[in-house]
Amino acid sequence: MSKRDYYEVLGVGRDAGEREIKKAYKKLAMKYHPDRNQGDKQAENNFKEAKEAYDILADANKRGAYDQFGHDGVDPNRGAGAQGADFGDIFGDVFGDIFGGGRRGGGQRQAARGSDLRYNMELSLEEAVRGVTKEIRIPTLAACGTCHGNGCKKGTQPKHCSTCQGSGQVQMRQGFFAVQQPCPHCRGRGQVITDPCGTCHGEGRVQKSKTLSVKIPAGVDNGDRVRLTGEGEAGEHGAPAGDLYVQMNVREHAIFEREGNNLYCEVPISITHAALGGDIEVPTLDGKVKLKIPEGTQTGKMFRLRHKGVNSVRAHSVGDLMCRVVVEVPVNLTDHQRDLFMQLQNSMSGNPQRHNPKKEGFFDGVKKFFDDLTS
């Protein structure tokens, strides 16, 4: 094996860090790997030389000895060992991260955290605006009370997996490539349960329903969620439980509609109230309040009642109540009432522009439109 300077072999400076050394080695391994250079003896020697240099410089103790004493400071048999190394094993180090972990990247699979759960909660508008505490009952997987979640019979413990020797990984070879994958016997845990719990049959979890008290904050809206940490499904073999997400679904209200922090409602008023003005009572979520209707109010007029809306969980101020008045035309008139309306109409016919400005303006516009068409 060549005794060239190891830093020169990898093409790095003597102050190169671990990451730079590994990157340089990967580049050379890709270039000179025998699988890419079949029958090229020089490429094979270059590959082995790069491997030898990497093995020394990637080890802090060996690198220190090499920096101080040169080739004499490192194990003289290391080069021979590199010559006899298996190419698949070497290449597995380079690409271990891509194929699920090489010899240096393997390890036991951690027990999986429990799944998160979602519960859809229906609320009335009043409950959503004011907040409420409700009890819910949910089916879930809970930690087994007999084995406390480890899946083993009382007095026993899991044993190291004989297939993967407790590593949780097995290696599959395909030509020069070495690919690691979770052990099929222990499913990557590195341990097996030989005496399973009689209650959960080794799963560590049992199907169960539980009742929870959920506090819903004031001001929630459709789609908002409340998270209950650790109230989801229990994890595998004692792993942490998932979370429970309670999602809000606010039912439609008979009077109010909500948009953001504001509430909207339609308030019907009589034709006399619209014409003469006066006070009317309008509903809010806190009870009735008086609203002053000015004389000559038209249908569709919007009135704002400040701070009678919603105090949202996301806002620092209370919204408003927006009241849209709708002038109601009387129906089922008596003959006397009909006569009174006729008298009213006749009394206003002398000056229609004064009493019905919108109506007169509309018909003036219509007349001009048709005049323009014919001119």
Kindly indicate the confidence band of residue 96, based on its pLDDT and cuts at 50, 70 and 90. Answer: very low
Tens of pLDDT, residues 143-152: 898 988 888 9
Q: What pLDDT was estimated at residue 61?
A: 79
Q: Which domain holds residue 13?
A: 6-85
Tell me which residue of 182, 98, 195, 197 sits closest to 144, measured CA to CA. Answer: 197
Query: Given a cut of 50, is residue 140 above it in pLDDT?
Result: yes
Which residue among 85, 102, 135 closes a domain?
Answer: 85
Whether residue 180 is contained in a domain is answered as no
Question: Is residue 310's pLDDT more than 50?
Answer: yes
For range 81-94, the mean pLDDT: 39
Res 177: pLDDT = 66
**pLDDT for the residue 131:** 94
Q: Answer yes or no: do 149 and 223 share one domain.
A: yes
Contact between 170 and 164 (Cβ < 8 Å): yes
Please list the residues that pair with 283 across neighbouring strands. Answer: 288
Using CA atoms, how far residue 21 sits from 18, 76, 91, 299, 312, in Å, is 5, 21, 16, 80, 56
User: Do 56 and 132 fall into the same domain?
Assistant: no
Task: Categorize the per-residue pLDDT at 109 as very low, low, confident or very high, splitting at 50, 70 and 90.
Answer: low
Looking at the structure, do residues 201 and 143 belong to the same domain, yes or no? Answer: yes
pLDDT (average), residues 158-185: 79
Question: Cα–Cα distance between 166 and 151 in angstroms, integer?
Answer: 18
Residue 233 lies in a domain: yes
pLDDT at 120 over 70: yes
Tell me whether residue 175 is in a domain: no
Residue 207: what are its φ and ψ, rounded to 5°?
Answer: -70, 135
Same domain, 239 and 142: yes
Confidence class of residue 185 from pLDDT cuts 50, 70 and 90? confident
143 three-state secondary structure? strand
Walk across the sheet containing 302-305 and list its strands.
257-259, 262-270, 321-328, 302-305
> Which has more confidence, 375 or 129?
129
pLDDT band at residue 327 under the 50/70/90 scheme: very high
Tokens of 321: 């109540």
Same domain, 126 and 246: yes
Amino acid 75: pLDDT: 56
**Which residues are bridge partners to 270 per DSSP?**
328
Q: In this structure, are residues 231 and 116 in contact, taking their beta carbons and an 8 Å threshold?
A: no
Is 92 a domain residue? no
Domain containing residue 263: CATH number: 2.60.260.20
Look over the chain and give the mean of its residue pLDDT values, rounded to a whole number.
82
Same domain? 280 vs 349: no
Q: Which of 60-74, 167-181, 260-274, 349-363 has the highest mean pLDDT?
A: 260-274
288 and 234 within one domain: no
pLDDT of residue 227: 93
Q: What is the CATH number of the domain that holds 62?
A: 1.10.287.110
pLDDT at 94 over 60: no
Q: Is the pLDDT of residue 241 over 60?
A: yes
On whether both 321 and 355 belong to a single domain, the answer is no
Instruction: Give domain status of residue 40, yes or no.
Output: yes
Residue 14 has a pLDDT of 86
For tokens 């809206």, the residue is: 221
Domain finish residue from 201, 234, 250? 250
Band of residue 95 on the pLDDT scale cut at 50, 70, 90: very low
pLDDT of residue 341 exceeding 50: yes
Which regions of 224-336 does DSSP assign to beta strands (E)? 225-228, 244-250, 257-259, 262-270, 278-284, 287-293, 302-305, 321-328
For residue 173, being part of any structural domain is answered with no
- In terms of domains, do 79 and 126 share one? no
> Assign residue 14 a region: left if phi > 0, alpha if psi is -120 to 50, beta otherwise?
alpha
| 144 shares a domain with 232 | yes
CA distances from 106 to 93, 96, 101, 160, 349 (A): 11, 8, 5, 16, 95
Q: Give the single-character DSSP code of 152.
A: B
Paired with 174 in beta bridges are 177
If asked whether residues 231 and 137 sit together in one domain, one would say yes
| Number of structural domains the chain divides into | 4
Listed range (90-99, 110-119, 184-193) with the worst mean pLDDT: 90-99
Q: Name the pairing type of β-strands 287-293 and 262-270.
A: unpaired
Angle at 11 between CA 66 and CA 65, to 5 degrees: 5
Could you tell me the pTM of the whole model?
0.58
Token reading at 299 = 């249908």
Boundary of a domain, candidates 202, 226, 250: 250
Closest CA to 224 of 212, 232, 236, 216: 216
- In terms of domains, do 154 and 210 share one? yes
Coil/strand/helix, residue 298: coil
Mean pLDDT of 67-87: 54
Per-residue pLDDT tens over the stretch 247-270: 999 999 999 999 989 999 999 999
* Range 225-247 average pLDDT: 90
The answer to whether residue 96 is domain-embedded is no
The secondary structure of residue 300, as a DSSP letter, is: T
What pLDDT is recorded for position 316?
76
pLDDT tens-digit map of 34-52: 777 888 888 888 988 989 8
Comparing C-alpha atoms, which of 313, 294, 312 is closest to residue 303? 294
